[in-house]
Amino acid sequence: MAEKGEKTVKRVCVTGAAGYIGSWLVKNLLERGYTVNATLRDPGDERKSGSLLDLAGAEDRLKLFQADLLKEGSFDSAVEGCEGVFHVAGPMGVRASSEDYIVPAVNGVLNVMKACTRAKSVRRVVFTSSVCAICPLNDKGELVYSCIDESCWSPLNFLKSQSNALSWYMTAKTLAEQEAFNYGAENNLEVITVQSAFVIGPWITATHELTSVQVISALIGDNDIFYEVLKYMQFTLGSIPIVHIEDVSNAHIFLMEHPSAQGRHICSVDSATIKSLKDLLSKQLKISLKLYEEDSINRYVPFSSKKLLDMGFSYKYSLEHTFEEGIECCKKNKILN
């Protein structure tokens, strides 16, 4: 990337630009003076592209590209001439089978990385991984860590024995991240990963299929499917890590710009349990949320952001403020009364 104080225009690519994190990344990059090549599956879908094209700076410094994770070569045009690439795109949501997660996640990483190699201009790739690729359990499902840091990897043999949607997603994120590091090492491409926590806060896209909405709706009892996801996450990860959307976006840019950044970086302002999150929401919404026996599970393993903080990054939003912002955006969009 350009050195601090250098006046050359910086061009980067953001994959999955219409998504929750991707759209915020585009917004913040434009605000910082970057020129952005943004990929979408369908740039012609105004419901998704419109919010990006309306951003400040978009008219002069944003260009949209069509790209498909499963199609090799489809990222070439978007990556050409870029100094850095933010690979955010990936399969999301509750899906029917392991292939729905693993194939696009792993093949997508390879297709983006190959495009970076062909472009020759790319110096660094920041890949959006997930806390789901980090786990305090071993392959037997036994708890072996009391605090989670970047040295932990999700145990693939254990996850493959679980056969549920979240275990498949965790497997896909783990395999995709390992593929990214392996390809980078073999092709002299600098790869940085962000282990993003559950993202809460306002959104700028038209879609409401976001963790911000899913987590809040699950906790208040309006999303049974995602409530089961939260329970499984609390069981496998030991806690539910949370981060504000603006903070995780800022962390991506921080890691792209930091000259000595390398490897993995947990991005989580705090870790909580289902019970503590329900207590927080009860207080903020001024309502009583029903507690179940499994909400009071004894296991609690925190996530550590020490590596990121020691590099000089700071979180703007506390856990409480993060949920306040998420609630306000849900109310504004009439998702909460």
Residues carrying an active site annotation: 173
Parallel/antiparallel/unpaired status of strands 11-15 and 84-87: parallel
Return phi, psi of residue 61, to 5°.
-130, 20
Cα–Cα distance between 90 and 17 in angstroms, integer?
11
Residue 196 β-bridge partners: 130, 267
CB 219 within 8 A of CB 291: no
- From the CA atom positions of the chain, what is the Rg in Å? 19
Helices (H), the chain: 20-31, 46-53, 58-61, 76-79, 98-119, 156-160, 165-186, 211-219, 224-237, 245-257, 274-285, 306-310, 319-332
Q: What is the DSSP letter of 98?
A: H
- Name the one residue in this structure whose structure tokens are 């980090």: 134
Closest CA to 245 of 176, 165, 329: 329
The Cα–Cα gap between 184 and 178 comes to 10
